[in-house]
């Protein structure tokens, strides 16, 4: 059986803690590898080595750092098939979905090639008599990223790319559920020219997370995961004087107005609600049709589309709509919430609780489910299910639909489908949610904008990727400079009056 260790000082090393975690094949339910779980001592040693390596890397000019990112882009494209296959094998995503995971991370690395421009400071000539004033953006030193299972390529790339381009060393603690792709990316960065020790990949669990949060050398921490863990990391990291950004859970609403194209809206909900088995923080899990007639039309469009979804392992071909969820525990939690929805009175229109895939009965597959007449007091509405379950919450008016999205504790993403520009403009202006789609179901910003939610979906002042990332991973230093303007007479300087 394959044993996965850590990436330390430019090479794979075995763990020394004696603790490991199982890496499952979600399609079969079998253990396919063991991954080492680092101790606090291992994490602290990796940080210490990273701090030493960062000194020279931080002094490397931004253009040379950008050239490493440029080479990294080429290597990721070269190995796209290998990365996607490894990702699908451990996570369960289809191959097209896995390639999308890698691609969206790759786009941030492409953005990082612009580091020389993004790191430029400001300059004021003659701020005072003989005085110039300018600012510099300088690296923090050592930063760290704690990343989730659902995007094992994209989010590590979102974190490490800007941090390294800014001149920091970086400690990556990926999910122990699917650790292979982060380790593969580290090896590609070395091949691209990144000096040893500047990137350390330390696999682990809560012990490693706490070690990162308590290590005085680590200056900044980024996290993506559930809201309770996000709040814990944000609080403990801030208490220890670190710069922290944490992104948590979501319950994304899509409002469907009566004038919307119902076929377009239904197709959008299929992809946004069931793609990647619903294991996406930007998945649409709540459809809010406005008016009974709109709701009935939408329901009639959704049912046949959902019933035709193909659920299978990634090895079954590119026509698979989605694969298994990541663990047996995740499957059981999804099925538990579905039972809760039924018990609390929601109408289970598409019921796949008995779904079994022949030959993969031990896999973590969950069939697609559609609830109608869900109310805002139900658990399936309040909680993030993180599975292939779509809920319809009927609203009588636009204002009621808007209120549902605004009143929910999560504020990651939202969307509206309408042909009316005034309604769309009002929605975008008033909604208290970080990312908004207008006839776009999953409004994930491109790499040169920033990604981040509001309310209990995001903690911290700055978002991921885009200009915010370069602000997060640097400190601004402002210099006020004055040079003598007098003539040297008799071995002494005579200065002109400042004012």
- Give catalytic residues, as residue numbers: 281
Single out the residue of 257, 271, 255 nearest to residue 444, CA to CA: 271
Parallel/antiparallel/unpaired status of strands 492-493 and 488-489 = antiparallel
Is the CB of residue 36 less than 8 Å from the CB of residue 19? yes
Block residue for tokens 């009974």 = 292
Spell out the residues 6+ positions from residue 17 whose beta carbon is closer than 8 angstroms to its own: 36, 37, 38, 39, 42
Count of CB atoms situated within 10 Å of the CB of 309: 17
Give the chain's radius of gyration (CA, Å). Answer: 25
Is the CB of residue 165 less than 8 Å from the CB of residue 140? no
Q: How far is CA 57 from the centre of its chain?
A: 26
Handedness of CA 24, 451, 419, 290 (dihedral sign): positive
Which H/E stretch holds residue 124? strand 123-128
Is the CB of residue 252 less than 8 Å from the CB of residue 273? no
Handedness of CA 94, 99, 102, 104 (dihedral sign): negative
Show the tokens assigned to 80: 């796209």
Is the CB of residue 216 less than 8 Å from the CB of residue 237? no
Count of CB atoms situated within 10 Å of the CB of 449: 14
Is the CB of residue 168 less than 8 Å from the CB of residue 139? yes
- SS3 of residue 394 by DSSP: coil
Is the CB of residue 165 less than 8 Å from the CB of residue 62? yes
Per-residue CA distances from 464 to 160, 218, 244, 432 (Å)? 11, 18, 11, 18
Surface-to-core class of residue 60, CB atoms within 10 Å of its CB (0-12 exposed, 13-18 middle, 19+ buried): middle
Per-residue CA distances from 217 to 43, 137, 197, 338 (Å)? 11, 19, 15, 45
In 189-343, DSSP assigns E strands to 199-201, 218-224, 243-247, 252-256, 284-289
What is the C-alpha to C-alpha distance for residues 245 and 262, in angstroms, rounded to an integer?
Answer: 38
The CA-based dihedral angle spanning residues 146, 183, 279, 358, taken in that order and rounded to the nearest 10 degrees: -150
Block residue for tokens 């239904």 = 266
What is the C-alpha to C-alpha distance for residues 247 and 139, in angstroms, rounded to an integer?
Answer: 23
């Amino acid at each position: 059986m394959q044993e996965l260790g850590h990436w330390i000082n430019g090479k794979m090393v075995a763990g020394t803690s004696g603790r490991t975690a199982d890496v499952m094949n979600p399609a079969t339910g079998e253990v396919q590898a063991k991954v080492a779980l680092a101790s606090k001592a291992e994490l602290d040693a990796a940080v210490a080595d990273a701090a030493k390596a960062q000194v020279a890397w931080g002094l490397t000019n931004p253009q040379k750092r950008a050239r490493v990112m440029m080479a990294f882009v080429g290597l990721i494209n070269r190995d796209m098939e290998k990365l996607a296959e490894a990702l699908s094998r451990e996570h369960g995503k289809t191959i097209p979905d896995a390639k999308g995971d890698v691609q969206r991370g790759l786009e941030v690395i492409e953005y990082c090639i612009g580091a020389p421009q993004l790191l430029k400071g400001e300059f004021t000539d003659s701020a005072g008599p003989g005085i110039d004033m300018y600012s510099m953006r300088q690296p923090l030193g050592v930063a760290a990223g704690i990343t989730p299972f659902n995007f094992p390529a994209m989010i590590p790339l979102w974190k490490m790319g800007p941090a390294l381009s800014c001149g920091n060393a970086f400690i990556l603690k990926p999910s122990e559920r699917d650790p292979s792709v982060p380790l593969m990316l580290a090896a590609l960065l070395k091949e691209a020219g990144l000096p040893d020790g500047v990137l350390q990949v330390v696999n682990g669990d809560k012990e490693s997370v706490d070690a990162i949060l308590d290590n005085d050398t680590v200056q900044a921490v980024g996290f993506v995961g559930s809201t309770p863990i996000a709040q814990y990391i944000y609080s403990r990291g801030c208490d220890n004087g670190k710069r922290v950004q944490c992104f948590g859970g979501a319950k994304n609403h899509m409002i469907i107005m009566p004038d919307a194209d119902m076929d377009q809206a239904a197709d959008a909900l299929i992809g946004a609600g069931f793609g990647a088995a619903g294991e996406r923080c930007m998945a649409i899990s709540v459809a809010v049709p406005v008016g009974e007639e709109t709701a009935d039309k939408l329901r009639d469009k959704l049912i046949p589309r959902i019933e035709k979804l193909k659920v299978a392992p990634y090895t079954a071909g590119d026509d698979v709509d989605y694969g298994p969820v990541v663990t047996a525990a995740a499957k059981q939690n999804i099925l538990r919430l579905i039972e809760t929805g039924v018990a609390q009175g929601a109408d289970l229109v598409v019921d796949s609780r008995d779904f079994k895939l022949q030959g993969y009965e031990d896999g973590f597959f969950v069939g697609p489910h559609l609830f109608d007449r869900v109310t805002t007091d139900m658990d399936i509405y309040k909680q993030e299910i993180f599975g292939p379950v779509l809920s319809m919450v009927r609203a009588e008016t636009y204002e009621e639909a808007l209120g549902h999205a605004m009143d929910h504790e999560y504020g990651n993403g939202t969307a509206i489908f309408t042909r009316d520009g005034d309604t769309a403009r009002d929605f975008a202006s008033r909604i208290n949610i970080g990312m908004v789609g207008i006839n776009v179901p999953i409004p994930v910003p491109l790499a040169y904008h920033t990604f981040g939610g509001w309310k209990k979906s995001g903690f911290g002042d700055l978002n991921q990727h885009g200009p915010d990332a370069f602000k997060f991973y640097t400190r601004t230093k402002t210099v006020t400079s004055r040079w003598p303007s007098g003539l040297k007479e008799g071995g002494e300087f005579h200065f002109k009056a400042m004012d």
